[in-house]
C-alpha cells in the first residue's frame, strides 16, 4: 500500500510540472499549475511545491501577466492517461498471469483506442511488446525473480525458497517485537514449502536457536504477565457476550421469516430496541433465511474459537510459574528440533534417491554400450608376412639456435644495452 501511495504522489507531481497551464509574468517569472478561476482581475492557480506533494492556490493579478498558455481538455486527458500507463512497469519479479492480461488490455490497449493519434503511441506499443513477451514466459510456466528467469524444475525450488524466506522475514519481525512464540511459529512454517533446501534449513535452525535463547533469558515477571492475560480474558468474554446477543437477534429473525413463509404475509419487525426495522415479506423469504443461517453458523464458529482461546488462557493462569514457563518453552524447543531434524532427514533421503537414480542410469548406459559392442562385427586386421624387424627411425635433432632462441635473444638485448651505457 505504501508504494502505491508514493506512486500516486509521483504521478501527481509529474502531472503538475509537465502538463500544467503556464502563466508568464511581465517580470519574467513563470508559474505552472492548474488555472481554476479567472474573474478578469485575478487569476487563481493551483500550484504544487517542489516535490509535488503539497498544493496551494496562488492568486496572480491580471495586470502582471504577460502570457497565458492553457492545456486543452483533450491534451489534459491524454496526459493523465499516459501518466497512468507509465505507472505500470515490469518488476524484478514476474506477476500472476491474469495481471499481465489486465494491464495490456485495460491500460495500454485502452490508451491506444482512446488516443489513436497520440504522440506517445510508439512508447505504449513498446510497453505492450515488453509485457507480452513476459506474459508468454509466465504462460509457459516460467518465473522471474531478481531479474533472472527460472524454467522447469528450477521454478519449484525458487518458489519454495521465496515462500520460506517470507516466513523467515515474518518471524524476524515478530522477534523484534518480542513476540517469541509467534516468531518460532513463523520459523516452523518456513519448513513446510517443498522442495526444502539445505541453506533454508540451516537458516531456520540458527534463527530458532536465537529466538529460544532470547526467550529463555527473559526475567520472570508474573504480575505483568498475569495482568496481560486477565485483560485478554476480559476482552474475549466481552466478544463472547456480543456474539451471544447477535445469535439471539438472528434467531428472532429466523422465527419471523418462518412466520412470513407460513402466512405468506408481510411482517414488520422491530429489532435491537427499535433501532432496526425490517420487512420480512418485502424480499424472498428463502434469501433472508439463507443469509441469517449463514450469519448464525459464522457466529457459532467464532464463539467456539473464543471459548477455546479462553480455556487456554485459564489453564495458563492456573499453572503459571517460572518452572512451568521454562518447561513449556523447552517443550516447544524440542518440538521444533524434531521438525528441523525431520527436514534434514528428508533432504538426505532425497539426495540419496537422486544419487541412486543417477547410478542406475549410468549402469543402464554402460550395459547398452556393452551390448552394442558385442553385437558389432570384429574389425579385420591385416597381418604382414615379412618377419623382419622394423628399425626405429632416429629422432631428428633440431639446430642449436632453434632450441635455445630465447637465450640468444636475451643475450643480444643485453649486449646492446651494455654498449649504449658505454
Which tops the pLDDT comparison, 63 or 354? 63
Residue 79 near residue 19 (C-beta atoms within 8 A):
yes
Residue 361 is predicted with a pLDDT of: 66
> pTM for the full model?
0.48
- Position 232 confidence tier, pLDDT thresholds 50, 70, 90: confident
Q: What is the mean pLDDT of the segment spanning 277-286? A: 46
**How many helices (H) and strands (E) are present in the chain, helices listed first?**
13, 9
Looking at residue 132, what is its pLDDT? 94
Whether the predicted pLDDT of 166 surpasses 50: yes
The answer, yes or no, to whether residue 381 has pLDDT greater than 70, is no
Of the chain, the percentage scoring pLDDT greater than 70 comes to: 74
- DSSP annotation of 27: T
Residue 335: is its pLDDT beyond 50? yes
Q: In terms of residues, how long is the chain? A: 422
What is d(CA 204, CA 200) in angstroms, rounded to the nearest whole number?
6
Q: How far apart are CA 193 and CA 161, in angstroms?
A: 8
**Vertex 418 angle, CA 417 and 422, to 5°:** 120
Q: Report residue 11's pLDDT band, with 50, 70 and 90 as the boundaries.
A: very low
Residues 83-110: what's their mean pLDDT?
91
Q: What is the pLDDT of residues 146-161, one digit of tens each?
A: 888 998 888 888 888 8
Which helix (H) or strand (E) is 144 found in, with range? strand 143-145
Ranked by mean pLDDT, the top range of 14-23, 134-143, 354-363 is 134-143
pLDDT range class, residue 359, cuts 50, 70, 90:
confident
Amino acid at each position: 500500500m505504501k508504494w502505491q501511495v508514493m506512486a500516486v504522489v509521483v504521478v501527481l507531481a509529474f502531472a503538475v510540472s509537465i502538463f500544467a497551464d503556464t502563466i508568464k509574468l511581465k517580470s519574467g517569472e513563470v508559474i505552472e499549475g492548474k488555472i481554476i478561476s479567472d474573474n478578469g482581475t485575478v487569476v487563481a492557480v493551483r500550484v504544487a511545491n517542489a516535490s509535488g506533494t503539497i498544493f496551494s492556490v496562488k492568486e496572480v493579478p491580471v495586470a502582471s501577466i504577460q502570457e497565458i498558455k492553457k492545456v486543452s481538455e483533450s491534451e489534459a486527458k491524454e496526459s493523465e492517461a499516459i501518466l497512468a500507463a507509465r505507472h505500470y512497469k515490469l518488476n524484478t519479479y514476474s506477476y500472476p498471469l491474469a495481471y499481465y492480461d489486465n494491464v495490456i488490455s485495460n491500460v495500454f490497449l485502452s490508451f491506444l483506442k482512446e488516443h489513436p493519434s497520440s504522440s506517445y503511441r510508439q512508447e505504449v506499443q513498446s510497453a505492450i511488446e515488453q509485457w507480452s513477451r513476459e506474459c508468454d514466459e509466465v504462460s509457459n510456466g516460467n518465473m522471474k525473480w531478481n531479474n533472472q528467469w527460472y524454467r522447469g524444475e528450477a521454478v519449484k525450488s525458487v518458489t519454495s525458497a521465496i515462500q520460506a524466506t517470507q516466513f523467515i522475514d515474518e518471524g524476524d519481525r515478530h522477534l523484534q517485537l518480542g513476540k517469541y512464540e509467534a516468531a518460532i511459529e513463523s520459523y516452523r512454517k518456513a519448513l513446510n514449502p517443498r522442495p526444502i533446501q539445505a541453506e533454508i534449513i540451516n537458516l531456520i535452525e540458527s534463527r530458532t536457536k536465537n529466538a529460544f535463547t532470547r526467550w529463555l533469558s527473559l526475567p520472570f515477571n508474573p504480575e505483568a504477565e498475569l495482568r496481560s492475560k486477565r485483560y485478554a480474558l476480559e476482552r474475549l468474554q466481552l466478544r463472547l457476550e456480543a456474539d451471544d446477543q447477535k445469535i439471539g437477534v438472528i434467531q428472532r429473525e429466523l422465527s419471523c421469516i418462518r412466520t412470513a413463509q407460513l402466512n405468506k404475509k408481510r411482517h414488520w419487525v422491530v429489532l435491537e430496541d427499535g433501532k432496526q426495522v425490517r420487512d420480512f415479506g418485502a424480499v424472498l423469504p428463502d434469501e433472508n433465511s439463507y443469509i441469517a443461517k449463514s450469519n448464525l453458523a459464522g457466529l457459532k464458529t467464532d464463539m467456539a474459537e473464543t471459548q477455546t482461546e479462553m480455556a487456554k488462557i485459564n489453564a495458563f493462569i492456573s499453572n503459571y510459574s517460572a518452572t512451568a514457563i521454562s518447561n513449556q518453552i523447552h517443550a516447544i524447543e524440542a518440538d521444533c528440533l524434531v521438525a528441523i531434524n525431520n527436514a534434514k532427514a528428508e533432504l538426505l533421503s532425497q539426495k540419496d534417491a537422486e544419487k541412486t537414480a543417477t547410478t542406475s542410469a549410468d549402469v543402464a548406459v554402460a550395459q547398452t554400450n556393452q551390448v552394442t559392442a558385442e553385437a558389432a562385427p570384429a574389425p579385420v586386421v591385416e597381418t604382414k608376412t615379412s618377419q623382419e624387424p622394423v628399425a626405429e627411425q632416429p629422432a631428428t635433432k633440431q639446430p642449436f639456435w632453434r632450441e635455445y632462441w630465447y637465450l640468444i635473444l636475451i643475450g643480444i638485448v643485453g649486449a646492446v644495452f651494455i654498449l649504449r651505457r658505454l
